[in-house]
A = this chain, B = another copy of it.
Amino acid sequence: MPVPDRKGLKIVAIDVKDVRFPTSLEGHGSDALHTDPNYSCAYVTTRTEDGRQGFGLTFTCGRGTEVVVLAIRSMKRFVLGKNAADIYADFAGFWRALTNDSQMRWIGPEKGVAHLAAAGILNSLWDLWARIENKPLWRLLADMEPEELVSTIDFRYITDVITKDEAVQLLKDKRAGKEARIKQLTENGIACYTTQVGWMGYSDKMVKELCNKYLKLGFTHFKVKVGTSIEDDLRRCNLVREAIGDKNTLMVDANQAWSVNEAIDWMIKLAPLKPMWIEEPTSPDDVLGHAAISKALKPYGIGVATGEMCANRVMFKQFLQSGGMQYCQIDSARIGGVNEILSVYLMAEKLKVEVVPHAGGVGLCEMVQHLQMWNYASVCYDTMGLIEYVDQQHEHFFDPCVVKNARYMAPKKPGYSTEMFPETIEKFKYPDGSEWQRMFKEGIFPSPDEAELVNS
């Protein structure tokens, strides 16, 4: 059991910072509903008595980060003074206590701000654990015995799809060949697709240039944002299809722009361009709506992808059960940290739905590569499992993801690749970082709101 010795592992400090990047200035990350995102995060540092540190984050889009930061500060009371080794020895129990405090659960439960906050803390604890074991997180996970791995998961509300015992058995059944798969990952990594060619804010010229750039880099899968105007979408998708040819794959992403029937009508118009999936056609909460869309689009060969805003394992369970999701897009920062994400992978394998993780925000590529590599080593090796890739904000991380020939290379450094450079924090901490102070002074952004000053 990889539970470390307790000595020195008492958690003595949890620090959280509001870190924002001014991405809205250039339209990076813009889509039908998120027209001007400033890619941001609530950045958590957990310190132990013996001076170890674990780094965790949860992704946000600018305004509202201050609320997540305060929620993390409010949750410190459930972590400070505990010994990290005790947490790892009953990680599922700790997870339940953190996410289901008898008073605080009312403001969730297990969704929105409260769950984003829990994820930030939990991610820092996983980073700390992997550092203690001196392994990259994906190896920590892949090296665990089935019983150990499963002991980190709270199975409440999902036993109708998978029980703890079934999960252990599933992992045991998949053990054969694991070492060879780990070797394969270490040598060749895992394939990715690009979302970089088709943000909503990009000009046609830029879209064409980017298609050519990413084709040259070896990419074969390209995703384009849609959902604002059908004429625009047809023009942009045609542009991309012409640039990438018929042998490569096009996916489209509506970022929740449509109601159910509208989604079906719109996609039938885009069907001649042969997209492999429509991502987030409607509300991320609409299981039955996604199931109706999936059914209607099946004859056109279009699958439905969703998950980046799926609230928790109970929602994922239903998407997987109902046929509402042909591509399961777990997000490394949204649901309740690594613990809950592991349960989604296990359910997806049981119900035979492919996991193609969401990535692209601050730290999401860095984190999710670990999860998908564990999945390939220990759970699902029928497919290599594409990962989304966006080339933004990696320069702020000590251990940035490395993409070569359109493949994520396996992380080697200990931890969850979540540590940011101190210079980044100094510059982009909101609102008092030096870059923000400069931008306020130069009138590039308005001064921070009263509420945004609360945590500074």
Contact = CB atoms under 8 A, between A and B. Distances in A.
A284 to B, nearest CB: 7
B106 A60 contact: yes
B107 A60 contact: yes
A222 B373 CA distance: 53
B156 A259 contact: yes
A265 to B, nearest CB: 12
A256 B114 CA distance: 18
A449 interface: yes
Nearest to A38: B103
Nearest to A105: B33
Contacts of A103: 34, 36-38, 61-64
Interface string A37-72: 110000000000000000000011111111110110
Please give the count of copies of this chain that the complex contains.
Answer: 2
A318 interface: yes
A180 interface: no
A70 B67 contact: yes
A306 to B, nearest CB: 13
A431 to B, nearest CB: 13
A246 interface: no
Given A74-B451, A104-B63, A159 B68 contact: no
B292 A314 contact: no
A336 interface: no
Contacts of A262: 159
20 contacts: A34-B106, A37-B102, A59-B106, A61-B103, A64-B114, A67-B67, A67-B114, A74-B449, A74-B451, A76-B449, A107-B116, A109-B256, A111-B111, A111-B285, A159-B260, A159-B261, A160-B259, A286-B317, A288-B317, A288-B322
Given A108-B112, A283-B314, 12 more contacts: A34-B105, A60-B106, A64-B74, A65-B107, A67-B70, A74-B451, A74-B452, A107-B116, A109-B256, A157-B260, A288-B321, A288-B322
